[in-house]
């Protein structure tokens, strides 16, 4: 061992020499650059990055109070401008990697040997695999004056701040002097600006997009129930993602209500108490900035310490301990009567969704160690692809792109910016590409797209390519069917430009495989699925929302009022429910639970997307017809009007809120259950009115009139009765055919399952047989000849067919009125039914009277004049061969030994 010691020392000396040489001892870290001594604040882009950056010397910098959620391969990055093109062409400036979560960390970073501050205009925290900017500082202001436009997600909004550190260059809206933890997922930050009588407040919470964040001061005279008399700011985001803040005052523990005398009470905006604040004296909170990043909501606003509104605002004494109150919960969006956002009950438990604590805003505090880490970081809209509905692909401005930086335009699918697509293996997906001739769509394994080979990367292309481009006037159709070999996650991107699309989730079969038909309802927000049973006795229905919500409702009807609703939601313990309701008004008291016979009921929520399923009979099995659900009949031959709504919350019992939906359909969609398609709602009442009037004219006037003329006008000399009979019958038949063609053309279908259609077909066939029967009638008997059996059979068949046609036609009229009332909600249906009953009752009385007169006339002819000869040798159709006295007449004629000549004429010519 001693023998080898000199050799070991020599080897160690050589290694040390190499290390010393590689350290480039000749490089001096001078302090000549003008950035030295300046401090910057990081502008947050994503991953909850915050902190301070300062230049120590020409080759190193220091980071302090640094927060960041971890990435995959994160480095310090340099670029000449903070836009998409320059950031993606940037370069690594340090050996240090940042592949961890940082919590209020401070450390020093050394630049690479070949990097100087003159090369760095933008210093960013950059994730290389995803080409993502987590946050950055702008070192050279000239990069902002070069005509480069920042994307909205990267544009800082400077704010006044009295707590500036000396030589601080930029004040960004996410940085404050103080931070206090309110609960595990809720924090308040603030900075004082005493000279301007302001306090800057920042609220951030790992909460859902439809939730509010409230913070304010409690009444100093309150010893308990701190929220009564409290002055709070309520913040949140609208459905379009726009931040807001409003000044509220609490008079009692209830949602804001307007009393009959016009006064307000509850948790109400100051402007409501003051009558909409025409001069702006009571709304003293001013929005500065807001964003949603990584599932975390952040709102910055300011309010005066001493407010001019002494009625609804509490004065903030910045030198004293004061009690503050806070809450988180669902908010109700504006409606026609209340054009403002209202916080709903925050719920339980205390210290999680609401609470209070004592704060002196002048005392420095920072117990917010590390960034908020939300469980659900995905805020992008989710679109679940369906084989029967194409995905419309266009381009638009990048407003909320999920992976900044991004180009100026990105893909929009079905009007949503860069949504997450979910497709099912084995189910073809159809894209209608209308993004422009310079944008080609393809499905790739590469996260960035833009042809990975140009970056010396490999990728698998599953569909599309340079030829998959088109415009609105001439779209290109691309069909892609993911198979068992398709990975669980791929991307839709542009062939020629990076980062225009986003993720595709590939899952095993789902609703599209389980149901035979599906359509996208109004505004492409809800997909409606259904399958009719083979015996057409039941229908299986599913509905899936295309955006996050607390509940999903579908209804059968033209509007919310007078509709049958099916509501699916998830309760507090995660259990899914589907309940049925009859809605006969706009108030909560008009939402009536029903007890329909639903089977195979399921409701689930995936990342906030509600899906409900159930099976129900087409005709309810009701023992009491007065129940509303007994009238909820689905006729598969008739278009089913479907509406929808989504909202933030739903309660099984004790509904006390109305208009709880934050988004709803603007009009119903007519779903053609038998054809498996849908179309926009049209007003069919004029169509039904014309069809019904034409049928009433035919079956209620013309055809009965023709029968009456043949039955009771034969005693009139000549053939006027015959001409009237023919004209009325053919006119009625022509009107019937026109009415049928009109209804079939307008309703776009002809189905025979409903009772009305069945009666109508029977009546139509019988009516069409009559002219054929008349054309084939046998010749009438010559004077003195006996009636042939063929003629007799023809007379009876003509008589019976005509009467049966009238009966079927009248049944079709009444069943049509019933059909109108059940499926279309027609007004005055009951009155029209009574009008039909009165009309046909009157007709029956007229027939009875005419029949009585006809009997009298026959008795007079037969028994009143024993030697009277009917007519002469010329034709006389006054005798009814079908009369019950016909056999007696024949026998009497035979007994008179030929002295009396009776000419028997046929019923018709």
**511-680 is classed CATH 2.40.128:** no
Tokens for 504, please give them. Answer: 């595709």
Instruction: Give yes or no for a contact between 475 and 432, defined as CB atoms under 8 angstroms apart.
Output: yes
User: Are 481 and 427 in contact, with CB atoms under 8 Å apart?
Assistant: yes
Q: Answer yes or no: same fold for 382-508 and 684-777+791-845.
A: no
Task: Quote the pLDDT of residue 750.
Answer: 63
For residue 226, the model assigns a pLDDT of 84
| Neighbour tally for 393: CB within 10 Å | 24
Alpha-carbon distance 567 to 158, whole Å? 45
- Under DSSP, the state recorded for 283 is -
Q: Where are the domains of the chain?
A: 38-138, 178-360, 382-508, 511-680, 684-777+791-845
**Distance of alpha carbon 557 from alpha carbon 394, whole angstroms:** 33
Inter-residue long-range contacts of 307-312, CB under 8 Å, 24+ positions, other chains counted: 308/281, 308/284, 309/270, 309/281, 309/282, 309/284, 311/273, 311/274, 311/282, 312/231, 312/247, 312/249, 312/270, 312/273, 312/274, 312/282
The alpha carbon dihedral of 885, 890, 895, 896 has a sign of positive
Give the per-residue pLDDT at 141.
61
State the Cα–Cα distance between residues 303 and 361, nearest whole angstrom: 13
pLDDT, residue 854, reads 79
Pair 183, 352: CB distance under 8 Å: yes
Instruction: Return the sign of the alpha-carbon dihedral for residues 390, 392, 398, 400.
Output: negative
Sheet (strand 489-494) strand order = 382-384, 420-424, 503-507, 489-494, 441-444, 461-464
Q: How far apart are CA 188 and CA 202, in angstroms?
A: 6
Give the start-end residues of each E strand in 223-266.
Answer: 231-237, 243-250, 257-258, 264-265
Q: Measure the CA angle with vertex 119, ends 114 and 123; round to 5°.
A: 105
**CB 343, CB 212: distance < 8 Å:** yes
- Per-residue b/e over 816-848, b at no fewer than 16 CB within 10 Å? bbebbbbbbebeebeebbeebeeebeebeeeee
Question: What are the average pLDDT values for consecutive 10-residue runs of the chain, which has 909 residues?
Answer: 46 42 55 87 95 94 95 95 90 95 96 93 95 92 42 35 45 91 95 94 94 92 79 92 93 86 88 71 89 95 91 90 93 81 83 91 93 89 87 93 93 94 90 94 94 87 95 94 89 95 89 85 90 89 90 90 91 89 83 89 89 92 79 89 88 57 83 84 65 84 83 75 83 86 69 75 84 78 73 82 85 79 60 83 85 80 51 40 44 42 42
Q: Any bridge partners for residue 646, and if so which?
A: 552, 663
Say if CB 578 and CB 544 are below 8 A apart.
Answer: no
Question: For position 692, what pLDDT does the model report?
Answer: 81
For residue 842, give both structure tokens.
Answer: 């009157």
| Residue 57 CA: distances (Å) to CA of 79, 658, 860 | 19, 63, 134
DSSP assignment letter at 70: -
* Per-residue model confidence (pLDDT) at position 743: 76
Beta bridge partners of 271: none
d(Cα 148, Cα 154) in Å, to the nearest integer?
12
- In CATH terms, the fold of domain 684-777+791-845 is 1.20.120
3-state DSSP of 432-447: EECCECCCCEEEECCC
Decide the pairing of beta strands 503-507 and 420-424. Answer: parallel
Q: Per DSSP, which regions of 676-819 are E strands?
A: 677-680
Q: What are phi and psi of 105, to 5 degrees?
A: -90, 155
> Domain 178-360 maps to which CATH number in 3.40.50.1950, 2.60.40.730, 1.10.10.10, 2.60.40.1210?
2.60.40.1210
Name the nearest CA neighbour of 387 among 226, 526, 243, 509.
Answer: 509
Contact 544, 384 (CB under 8 A): yes
Question: Is the pTM here over 0.85, yes or no?
Answer: no
Instruction: Name the residue among 760, 627, 757, 753 with its Cα closest to residue 699.
Output: 760
CATH 2.60.40.420 holds for 382-508: yes
């Amino acid at each position: 061992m001693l023998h080898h010691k000199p050799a070991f020392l020599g080897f160690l000396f050589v290694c040390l020499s190499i290390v010393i040489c590689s350290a480039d001892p000749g490089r001096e870290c001078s302090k000549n650059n003008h950035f030295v001594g300046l401090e910057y604040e990081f502008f947050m882009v994503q991953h909850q990055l915050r902190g301070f950056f300062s230049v120590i010397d020409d080759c190193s910098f220091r980071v302090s109070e640094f927060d960041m959620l971890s990435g995959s391969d994160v480095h310090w990055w340099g670029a000449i401008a903070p836009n998409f093109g320059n950031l993606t062409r940037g370069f690594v400036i340090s050996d240090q990697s940042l592949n961890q979560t940082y919590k209020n960390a401070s450390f020093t970073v050394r630049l690479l040997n070949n990097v100087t501050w003159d090369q760095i205009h933008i210093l960013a925290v950059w994730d290389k695999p995803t080409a993502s900017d987590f946050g950055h500082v702008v070192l050279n202001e000239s990069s902002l004056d070069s005509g480069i436009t920042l994307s909205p997600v990267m544009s800082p909004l400077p704010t006044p701040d009295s707590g500036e550190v000396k030589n601080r260059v930029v004040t960004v809206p996410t940085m404050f002097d103080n931070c206090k933890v309110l609960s595990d997922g809720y924090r308040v930050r603030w900075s004082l600006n005493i000279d301007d009588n302001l306090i800057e407040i920042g609220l951030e919470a790992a909460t859902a997009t439809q939730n509010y964040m409230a913070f304010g001061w409690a009444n100093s005279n309150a010893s308990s129930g701190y929220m009564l008399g409290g002055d709070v700011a309520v913040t949140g985001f609208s459905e379009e993602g726009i931040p807001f803040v409003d000044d509220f005052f609490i008079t009692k523990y209830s949602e804001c209500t307007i009393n009959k005398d016009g006064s307000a009470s509850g948790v109400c905006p100051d402007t409501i108490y003051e009558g909409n604040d025409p001069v702006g004296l009571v709304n003293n909170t001013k929005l500065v900035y807001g964003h949603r990043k990584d599932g975390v909501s952040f709102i910055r606003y300011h309010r005066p310490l001493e407010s001019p509104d002494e009625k609804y605002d509490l004065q903030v004494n910045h030198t004293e301990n004061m009690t503050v109150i806070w809450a988180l919960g669902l908010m109700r969006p504006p409606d026609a009567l209340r054009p403002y956002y209202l916080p709903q009950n925050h719920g339980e438990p205390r210290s999680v969704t609401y609470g209070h604590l004592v704060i002196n805003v002048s005392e420095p505090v920072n117990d917010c160690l590390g960034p908020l880490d939300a469980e659900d970081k995905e805020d992008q809209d989710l679109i679940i692809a369906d084989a029967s509905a194409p995905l419309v692909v266009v381009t638009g401005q990048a407003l909320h792109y999920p992976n900044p930086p991004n180009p100026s335009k990105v893909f929009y699918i079905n009007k949503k910016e860069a949504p997450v697509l979910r497709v099912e293996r084995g189910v073809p997906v159809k894209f209608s590409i209308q993004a422009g001739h310079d944008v080609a769509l393809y499905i790739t394994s590469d996260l960035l797209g833009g042809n990975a080979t140009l970056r010396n990367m490999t990728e698998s292309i599953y569909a599309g390519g340079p030829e998959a481009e088109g415009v609105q006037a001439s779209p290109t159709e691309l069909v892609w069917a993911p198979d068992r070999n398709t990975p669980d996650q791929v991307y839709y991107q542009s062939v020629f430009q990076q980062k225009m699309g986003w993720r595709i989730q590939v899952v095993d079969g789902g609703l599209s495989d389980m149901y035979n038909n599906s359509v996208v309802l109004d505004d492409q927000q809800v997909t409606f699925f259904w399958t009719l049973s083979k015996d057409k006795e039941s229908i299986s229905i599913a509905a899936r929302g295309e955006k996050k919500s607390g509940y999903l409702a579908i209804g059968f009807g033209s509007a919310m009022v007078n509709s049958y609703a099916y509501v699916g939601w998830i309760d507090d313990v995660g259990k899914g429910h589907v309940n049925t309701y009859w809605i006969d008004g706009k108030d909560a008291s008009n939402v009536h639970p029903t007890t329909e016979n639903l089977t195979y009921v399921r409701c689930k929520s995936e990342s906030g997307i509600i899906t409900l399923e159930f099976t129900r009979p087409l005709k309810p099995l009701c023992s009491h017809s007065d129940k509303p659900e007994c009238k909820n009949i689905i006729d598969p031959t008739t278009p089913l009007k479907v509406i929808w709504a989504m909202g933030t919350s739903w309660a099984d019992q004790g509904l006390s809120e109305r208009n709880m939906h934050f988004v709803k359909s603007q009009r119903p969609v007519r779903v053609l259950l038998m054809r498996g398609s849908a179309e926009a709602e049209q007003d069919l009442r004029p169509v039904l009115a014309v069809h019904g009037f034409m049928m009433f004219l035919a079956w209620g006037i013309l055809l009965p009139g023709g029968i009456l003329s043949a039955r009771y006008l034969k005693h009139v000399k000549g053939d006027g009765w015959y001409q009237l009979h023919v004209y009325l019958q053919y006119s009625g038949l022509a009107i019937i055919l026109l009415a049928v063609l009109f209804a079939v053309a307008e309703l776009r279908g002809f189905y025979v399952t409903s009772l009305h259609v069945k009666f109508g077909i029977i009546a139509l066939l019988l009516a069409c047989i009559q002219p054929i029967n008349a054309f084939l009638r046998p010749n009438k008997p010559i004077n003195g000849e006996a009636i042939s059996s063929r003629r007799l059979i023809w007379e009876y068949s003509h008589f019976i067919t005509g009467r049966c046609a009238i009966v079927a036609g009248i049944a079709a009229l009444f069943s049509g009125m019933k059909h109108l009332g059940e499926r279309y909600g027609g007004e005055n249906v009951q009155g029209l039914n009574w009008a039909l009953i009165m009309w046909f009752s009157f007709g029956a009385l007229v027939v009875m009277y005419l029949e009585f007169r006809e009997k009298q006339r026959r008795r007079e002819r037969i028994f009143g004049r024993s030697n009277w000869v009917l007519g002469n040798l010329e034709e006389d159709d006054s005798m009814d061969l079908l009369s019950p006295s016909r056999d007696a007449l024949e026998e009497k004629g035979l007994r008179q030994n030929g002295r009396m000549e009776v000419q028997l004429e046929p019923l018709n010519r």
